[in-house]
Structure 1
Amino acid sequence: MGGGLARPGPGRVPGHQPGLPWRAGDLGPVVAALDRLVAVGTPCPVPDLPTAREALAGELPEPALDLLDGDSLVHLDLRADNLLLTPAGAVLVDWPHACRGPAWLDLLTLLAEVDRLGEEGLAERVLTTSALTRDVEADVLTTVLDGFRAFFLHRAAQPVPPGLPTLREFQRVQGEALARWVARRRAPAR
């Protein structure tokens, strides 16, 4: 386990999860991996995956759902514990929520965690500079972030599922952090 890399064994990828708080140095390889995913995953090469709209129907407000059209392969659950940083770049792991959606969706949902647990301003810098998001209208991104805010806060109010005692607290914290980010994005420029 030296050097921060896990010793590879059968079925294991050599690497480590990004450290928290998020730093640009760890985020860079992840953004590059998402760029590659869009390049090879658009149009979506996996037949019969649900659309992001279908996967999140009943979970997000309609205004957000209406913005989720696209035909890119989407992970839909990116955060530090679903990523490995390896010598060759970032690897996305744990794909049970895979779907088809806009090319920018994975980066946006990851940046929700980066905004909460990262260097100040890092999430906004990436939104404005990444090829995946820089040309997407700010209102579109903010509306989808607000939809995820509603999703997390709604989920946080549900009973705790067996075996996942910290899930609802995580959802509450993430929903409240998204509410703050959405408010900052909607605040008039000074």
Structure 2
Amino acid sequence: MPETNADDNEPNGGIPSMTGSRRIAWAAMPTKVKASIEELLGSTVVNAVSQPGGFSEGVAARLHLATGQNVFLKAVNSLTAPDVARFHRQEGSITQRLPSDVPVPRLLHIYDDGTWVALLFEYINGSLPAQPWRGDELNQVLTTVTAMALALTPSPISASAAAQPRLGGWSHLAAPTQLTTLTRLSPWAAEHLNDLIRMETAAAETISGDTLLHGDLYPFNILLTAASPYVIDWPHAWVGPRHCDVLTVMSTAVTSGLDPEPFVESNPLTRHLHPYEIDTYLTAHAGFLARLAITAGPAADPHLINMATALGQASLRWLRRRRR
């Protein structure tokens, strides 16, 4: 984890690299698997180009077919990356049940031979949001995410079929060695660790709801197009309060030196919230990111750890201002 101090330096350059470092090429996949995917598509693949965004291991590529069509493929070997394979299977289950009016790439096919798992989506010709955030793009994304939350209330998927929210982690950072690392990440968080643990526990009372939430809504999971932003990568979707995804997006504004409070005050999902609801969510959200950054271990993708560190520090800066 980088030795940066979240309490002293205000960021303004946006978040780090938005793509993981453990991608593999379409050409490296087994011939039998590629042939099966081409059979599903009804066409041969004439070109494959790796795509930016996201941190999953495996293939993430635009496939150009002999028919002239483009599709997006994400695929992984479950023997070498079992967690990613589990996420792909969960994403397939979630995405194929989303309403057609939600701005999500349409799932075309699922391939799963027990070892290789692949999802094939319609190809969206878009780009990741600029970093640091541009005001117009951030407003456009918040408008889309707000409408998406309303469209996914009540959730079209039961809470039992969705994932558990990736929130919380402060209670795991109290050990002396981890507390030392936390102090480098945020002296304020280390000093107020008992308060953060208490607020994180209280968050359980404020995260009930009936909205299907994306659960990982950062700039690397958003594609901007001329028509509308699209939200991609849904394995972590969970059912909860409809304001959580917009708060997650707002927290990323801090990495660009922007104040999220005007967005809170103007957004219909957040402007009437009790401050405690926002603070407890930010606490649990930052706790997950801090725990990931500190405890992931040396085998973790360094790009993912850099990203978790930057996003966790951003949420902590915002929370610290609010708690003053």
Q: When the two structures are superposed, what TM-score results if normalisation uses the length of structure 1?
A: 0.83
CA contact under 8 A between 1:49 and 1:100: conserved in structure 2? no
Alignment correspondent of 1:174? 311
Residue 46 (1) aligns with residue 107 (2): no
Call closer, same or farther: CA 1:33–1:161 in 2, change over 3 Å. Answer: farther
> Structure 2: 5+ residue runs without aligned partners?
1-61, 72-121, 171-199
CA contact under 8 A between 2:166 and 2:285: conserved in structure 1? no
CA deviation after TM superposition for structure 1 residue 40, in Å: 1.7
1:54-93 to 2 correspondences below 5 Å: 54-56=164-166, 59=169, 61-93=200-232
Residue in structure 2 matching 1:9, options 70, 79, 82: 70
CA deviation after TM superposition for structure 1 residue 176, in Å: 2.3
Instruction: Find the aligned partners of 2:232 and 2:144 in 1 and give their Cα distance.
Output: 12
Residue in structure 2 matching 1:37, options 148, 151, 160: 148
CA RMSD of aligned residues (A): 2.3
CA deviation after TM superposition for structure 1 residue 78, in Å: 0.7
1:91-102 to 2 correspondences below 5 Å: 91-102=230-241
For 2:239, what is the secondary structure of its paired residue? strand
Structure of larger gyration radius: 2
Amino-acid identity (%)? 29
Instruction: Find the aligned partners of 2:156 and 2:265 in 1 and give their Cα distance.
Output: 28
Call closer, same or farther: CA 1:21–1:131 in 2, change over 3 Å. Answer: same
> Structure 1: 5+ residue runs without aligned partners?
1-5
Call closer, same or farther: CA 1:17–1:88 in 2, change over 3 Å. Answer: same
Residue in structure 2 matching 1:18, options 116, 129, 142: 129
Instruction: Find the aligned partners of 2:285 and 2:300 in 1 and give their Cα distance.
Output: 24
Instruction: Find the aligned partners of 1:184 and 1:163 in 2 and give their Cα distance.
Output: 31
- Structure showing the higher strand proportion among its residues: 2
Alignment correspondent of 2:265? 128
Alignment correspondent of 2:243? 104
Call closer, same or farther: CA 1:161–1:103 in 2, change over 3 Å. Answer: farther
CA contact under 8 A between 2:211 and 2:242: conserved in structure 1? yes
Alignment correspondent of 1:28? 139
Instruction: Find the aligned partners of 1:39 and 1:170 in 2 and give their Cα distance.
Output: 29
CA distances 1:121-168 after superposition (whole Å, capped 9, x unpaired): 2x2111110011111112210121122222221221113374612222
Alignment correspondent of 1:116? 255
CA distances 1:89-108 after superposition (whole Å, capped 9, x unpaired): 11100111011111100001
Q: When the two structures are superposed, what TM-score results if normalisation uses the length of structure 2?
A: 0.50
